[in-house]
């Protein structure tokens, strides 16, 4: 590992100050639990000159907001999120996602801020030998290579899937993210935080600026909603899901008033399936409705040579998440 300077700020302002004056995300990096960053550093994928530990600087609490929602600090550990009684009561799909992240050890040290901002798990990005777009190279190796775990939505230039399990329910619940930089705070919709790759913006996955720190997830009061979250893995292993879905259904009596359907591990961002949301509006939750919405969710998928199977897996995840929301038992 390359030698680096280590900074240990104890408040938000000092954490932001510790990012300057370089404002260069390749040279200065934030450290949460280190589950992702330290692995990248050991593999020579990331070689910062300075590492800024934010665990002692950022909020590590979960607190109610005046409107009945919750504000979750970036330094909260994933295990504490999963075990928090208020989160369990208000946002069960977020708890389900948190509880399935990796292993107990990963959940014990991984933070909410680190999970949302973790870098892609693409094996070309993670391998020093492949100089892909994300590392300043001139191509994405997935289309002509081993692409079984890559995106089935989007048209490049990179084909990563977003790795964060927490990001998907955050978008489904309509969360906002609080970011802090040298000129103060800004609040961004979770759905607007994650960015599809473009040639101008190929090395990053979100709108966080090089001089900003991610500080909170702010969740609105859920209201009268039903929730479902379903993840599919190769087996009951500790690996990332192949595809998963969160659905949040705002009920209007016995029918769905409006729906948010978001899929994970299928695109470079948490993928909102608006065709499925339209298909659900005004319907009762049953097997036929769930199946129809699941088909709609996968409209427009563009699988590559080895990941066509993900279309069916994602469809199943959406269908089962909807049925789960309706309290209907799945196989």
Judged by beta carbon, residue 70 or residue 213, the one nearer ligand FAD is 213
Residue 252: closest CA among 273, 220, 272, 280: 280
Stretch that binds ligand FAD, among 88-96, 151-159, 160-168, 181-189 (CB under 6 A): 160-168
- Give, in order, the Cα–Cα distances in Å from 145 to each of 36, 88, 123, 301, 302: 24, 41, 11, 19, 16
> To 5 degrees, how large is the angle CA 57–CA 5–CA 58?
10
- Give, in order, the Cα–Cα distances in Å from 72 to each of 52, 117, 218, 264: 21, 15, 6, 21
Which of residues 7, 16, 19, 33 is near ligand FAD by CB under 6 A? 33
Stretch that binds ligand FAD, among 34-42, 65-73, 122-130, 251-259 (CB under 6 A): 34-42
Residue 171 burial (CB count, 10 A): 25
Which of residues 84, 93, 115, 324 is near ligand FAD by CB under 6 A? 115
Q: What is the DSSP string of 257-284?
A: EEEEEEEESSSSS-EE-HHHHHHHTT--
Q: What are the φ/ψ torsions at residue 80 (nearest 5 degrees)?
A: -70, -30
Q: Distance (Å, rounded) from C-alpha 142 to C-alpha 144? A: 6
Q: How far is the CB of 191 from ligand FAD (least distance, A)?
A: 18
Report the site for ligand FAD in 240-299 (rule: CB under 6 A).
240-241
Judged by beta carbon, residue 118 or residue 307, the one nearer ligand FAD is 118
Residue 34 touches ligand FAD, criterion: CB under 6 A = yes
Q: What are the φ/ψ torsions at residue 13 (nearest 5 degrees)?
A: -60, -45
Classify each residue of 65-84 as buried b or exposed e, where b means 16 or more C-beta atoms within 10 Å of its C-beta: eeeebbbbbbbbbbbbbbeb
Which of residues 84, 93, 117, 307 is near ligand FAD by CB under 6 A? 117
Which of residues 113, 157, 270, 303 is near ligand FAD by CB under 6 A? 113
Residue 169 touches ligand FAD, criterion: CB under 6 A = no
Stretch that binds ligand FAD, among 59-67, 105-113, 153-161, 323-331 (CB under 6 A): 105-113
Residue 36 touches ligand FAD, criterion: CB under 6 A = yes
275 — alpha (psi -120 to 50), left (phi > 0) or beta?
alpha
Q: How far is the CB of 268 from ligand FAD (least distance, A)?
A: 15
Residues that bind ligand FAD (rule: CB under 6 A) add up to a total of: 35
Q: Are 56 and 8 in contact (CB under 8 A)?
A: yes
Stretch that binds ligand FAD, among 108-116, 255-263, 271-279, 311-319 (CB under 6 A): 108-116
Judged by beta carbon, residue 164 or residue 307, the one nearer ligand FAD is 164
Provide the binding-site residues for ligand FAD, judged by CB under 6 A.
Answer: 29-37, 54, 58, 74, 78, 101-102, 106, 109-111, 113-115, 117-119, 163-165, 208, 213-214, 238-241
């Amino acid at each position: 590992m390359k030698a680096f300077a280590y900074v240990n700020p104890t408040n938000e302002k000092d954490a932001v100050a510790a990012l300057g004056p370089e404002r260069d995300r390749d040279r200065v990096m934030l450290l949460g639990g280190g589950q992702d960053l330290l692995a990248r550093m050991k593999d020579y994928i990331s070689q910062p000159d300075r590492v800024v530990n934010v665990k002692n600087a950022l909020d590590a609490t979960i607190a109610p907001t005046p409107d009945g929602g919750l504000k979750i600090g970036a330094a909260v550990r994933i295990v504490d999120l999963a075990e928090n009684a208020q989160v369990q009561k208000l946002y069960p799909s977020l708890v389900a996602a948190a509880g399935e992240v990796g292993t107990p050890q990963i959940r014990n040290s991984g933070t909410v801020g680190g999970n949302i901002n973790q870098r892609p798990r693409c094996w070309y990005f993670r391998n020093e030998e492949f100089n892909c777009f994300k590392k300043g190279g001139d191509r994405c190796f997935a289309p002509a290579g081993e692409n079984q775990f890559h995106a089935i939505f989007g048209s490049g230039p990179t084909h990563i899937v977003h790795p964060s399990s927490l990001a998907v329910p955050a978008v489904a619940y309509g969360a906002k993210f609080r970011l802090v930089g040298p000129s103060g705070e800004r609040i961004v919709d979770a759905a607007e935080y994650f960015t599809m790759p473009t040639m101008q913006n190929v090395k990053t996955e979100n709108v966080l600026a090089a001089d900003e720190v991610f500080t909170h997830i702010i969740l609105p009061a859920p209201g009268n909603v039903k929730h479902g979250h379903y993840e599919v893995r190769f087996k009951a292993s500790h690996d990332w899901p192949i595809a998963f879905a969160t659905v949040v259904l705002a009920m209007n009596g016995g029918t769905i008033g409006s729906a948010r359907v978001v899929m994970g591990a299928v695109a470079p961002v948490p993928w909102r399936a608006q065709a499925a949301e339209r298909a659900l509006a005004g319907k009762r939750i049953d097997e036929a409705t769930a199946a129809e919405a699941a088909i709609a969710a996968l409209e427009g998928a563009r699988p590559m040579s080895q990941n066509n199977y993900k279309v069916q897996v994602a469809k199943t995840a959406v269908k089962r998440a909807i049925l789960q929301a309706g309290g209907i038992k799945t196989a």
